[in-house]
Structure 1
Amino acid sequence: MKYTTIPNTDIKVSKICLGSMTWGRQNTEAEGHEQMNYALTQGVNFIDTAEMYSVPFQEKTYGATEKVIGTWLAKNKNRDQIVLASKITGPSPTFASVRDNLGFSKEAIDDALHKSLKRLQTDYLDLYQLHWPERNTNFFGKLGYVHNDDEQWNDNIAEILESLDTYVKQGKIRNIGLSNESPFGLMRFIEEARKGAPKVVTVQNPYNLLNRKDEIGLTEGLHREDVGLLPYSPLGFGQLTGKYLDGYPEDARVTLFPNYNRYHNDNAFEATRRYKKIADDHGLSLTQMALAFVTDRPFVTGNIIGATSMEQLKENIGSADITLSEEVLKAIDEVHTAIPNPAP
């Protein structure tokens, strides 16, 4: 396993981060435990979750994934071996049943954090992330920003950081991160850090061969401000395994949940076919190539992989041992130039 350090910390993390959003719905508690057991034997020490998981969200499984992790930590008594990250849900009518106080008010953070700690059976989080912004911006499949003149966003980033800092000082949060964030959002948080607020150390955004939009603006901010990227959906909801090129397997995520189809437009399929040919020509699986590409980007701290089967998990974790040749990287960039960001 390859390792790195979360920027601005002394926390050593595996370059492969174990994503958990299927545990509690597509995967049972026992399967979640099996995945964590295997990952730990392979050197993975980084686990990411969120209060609203499992996904797709439904009220009866709210918090289910954190509970699965909590029972595993309690059983194995190995909290000191794990770097644990979770997220507080942003405002959205879709998730109204999560809590009465959605968003990042002081009361919401207090409520969400303590409920997460209880479910996880721990007294601290190594990384606590804002799952998506409170303001209107382009995330969850939106490529371009469209301004809303009627938006009533009160720039409260200083207040959010002040509230989070309370729990940093108490030792309940070791570090703060963002998710589904834009270059503007990152720099607003950095601006407050320059005034003395705690600095965000990571941004968790979608990033994969079909969605490299963050290279356009965000990655410059990551490099210059020493903030790490935690890419999620590195396989584009399974599209970059190639399994949808010949139809829809019965138990596949997009088959089960058709609204998770943002990587299934015509250009995304064409790009996937071209990427698969590159992988085939160089003796790689498309999965291995897609994951290795993400893991080795210089701005990536941890590549968040997810799996519903042990077979998938083993291949995903094994991709950490692969380094792509310059020939492969050149071929990838040629496809990207021809079909850039077909599925943001």
Structure 2
Amino acid sequence: MKYSTLPHTDIEVSKICLGTMTWGKQNTEEEGHEQMDYALDQGVNFFDTAELYPVPAEAERYGHTEKIIGSWFKKNGNRDKVVLASKIAGNGDYTKFIRSTGFSRASIIEAVEGSLQRLQTDYIDLYQLHWPERNTNYFGKRGYEHEITDYWEDNFHQVLETLRDLIREGKIRHVGISNETPWGTMRYLEESKVHATLPRTITIQNPYNLLNRLFEVGLAEVSMREKIGLLAYSPLGFGALSGKYLGGRMPEGSRVSLFPRFDRYNGEIATKATQKYYELAQANDLSLAQMALAFVNTRPFVTSNIIGATSIKQLAENIASIDVSLSEDVLKGIESVHNSIPNPAP
């Protein structure tokens, strides 16, 4: 395994992060425990979860993924071997069963306390805001459209004050954001620069893969200049970049077959790009999945690559991508495809 350091800390994390979004819906508790055992044995010490998980979110399964992680900690007593990240859910039609008060002080405290209880731990190493409260372009929306009905009021300062207090109490150690824009990212950073007592945002968790490199438009420069690390999620585009949907296939039990609304990486243009990437991988004796993951692993702004799997076989292949080196010819081939079909899946 290879490691990096969470920016502005001395915390060393594996370049591969174990994503947990399927545990409690597509995976059982036993399977979740098996994945954590395997990942830790392979040197993966960074786990990412959220109060919202598993996804798709539903009231009956709320927090179930965190409970699976918590029961694993209790069984093995190895909390100290893991750098743990979790998130508070933002507002949305599909999160009203959690709460409808956004990132108010009471909401953040309630969310953190609930996660700590489910995770059976006294602290969370990295606590993240899952997505912005304001209306903006996240979750598959390519461009920003200003909405005059957006009643959000600027509360960056208040949010950071609450997180600061939770850090002082020892319940969380560091702060991150997710599904953010350059404007939102800079606002959080500027608040902590102007007000020295407020915690600095150290990571941003956004989608990044061969079919969606929009992070490079604006946020990559912010990441490099401000030293805020990308935790790249969906590096395989909901499985599309494994190639399993090519040729019109729809494997039984696959994510898109189970949840058709998660099809943003399977449109006509995205599929055309995936086919080209598949042919490039085949021509260079690589699997498409490992080529796609290896590309993400080597980007200079990526602190860790969040991989997920529903089987140990998938997990093993994904983790092994850390040892895959891409030749200059492969990298040039990737850029050629990207330049001809840029970002087909927002």
Superposition TM-score, scaled by structure 2 size: 0.98
Runs of 5+ in structure 1 lacking a partner? none
Residue in 2 aligned with 1:234? 235
Distance in 2 of aligned mates of 1:210 and 1:164: 34
2:232 counterpart SS class: coil
1:230 counterpart SS class: strand
The one-letter code sitting in structure 2 at the alignment partner of 1:147 is H
Residues 207 and 234, structure 1, Cα contact 8 Å, conserved in 2? yes
Distance in 2 of aligned mates of 1:53 and 1:331: 36
The one-letter code sitting in structure 2 at the alignment partner of 1:59 is A
Distance in 2 of aligned mates of 1:83 and 1:181: 22
Q: How does 1:1-344 map to 2 (within 5 A)?
A: 1-99=1-99, 101-195=100-194, 196=196, 197-246=198-247, 247-344=249-346
The share of aligned pairs that are identical, in percent, is 60
The one-letter code sitting in structure 1 at the alignment partner of 2:221 is E
Residue 58 of structure 1 deviates from its aligned partner by 1.2
Report the CA distance shift for 1:295/1:70 in structure 2 as closer, same or farther (over 3 A).
same
1:276 counterpart SS class: helix
Distance in 1 of aligned mates of 2:161 and 2:296: 33
The one-letter code sitting in structure 2 at the alignment partner of 1:232 is Y
Report Cα offsets for 1:196-220 as digits up to 9, x if no partner: 2210000000100000011010010
The one-letter code sitting in structure 1 at the alignment partner of 2:343 is N
1:231 counterpart SS class: strand
Distance in 2 of aligned mates of 1:280 and 1:254: 24
Distance in 2 of aligned mates of 1:223 and 1:135: 25
Residue 71 of structure 1 deviates from its aligned partner by 0.3
Residues 96 and 102, structure 1, Cα contact 8 Å, conserved in 2? no
Residue 102 of structure 1 deviates from its aligned partner by 3.9
1:90 counterpart SS class: coil
Distance in 1 of aligned mates of 2:268 and 2:128: 33
Residue 309 of structure 1 deviates from its aligned partner by 0.6
The one-letter code sitting in structure 1 at the alignment partner of 2:200 is K
Residues 89 and 102, structure 1, Cα contact 8 Å, conserved in 2? no
Runs of 5+ in structure 2 lacking a partner? none
1:214 counterpart SS class: helix
Residues 20 and 47, structure 1, Cα contact 8 Å, conserved in 2? yes
Report Cα offsets for 1:19-52 as digits up to 9, x if no partner: 0010001000000000000000000000000001
2:73 counterpart SS class: helix
The one-letter code sitting in structure 1 at the alignment partner of 2:132 is P
Distance in 1 of aligned mates of 2:322 and 2:283: 20
Aligned residues: 343
2:173 counterpart SS class: coil
Distance in 1 of aligned mates of 2:101 and 2:90: 6
1:293 counterpart SS class: helix
Distance in 2 of aligned mates of 1:248 and 1:93: 28
The runs of at least 4 aligned residues of structure 1 exceeding 2 Å deviation read none
Superposition TM-score, scaled by structure 1 size: 0.99
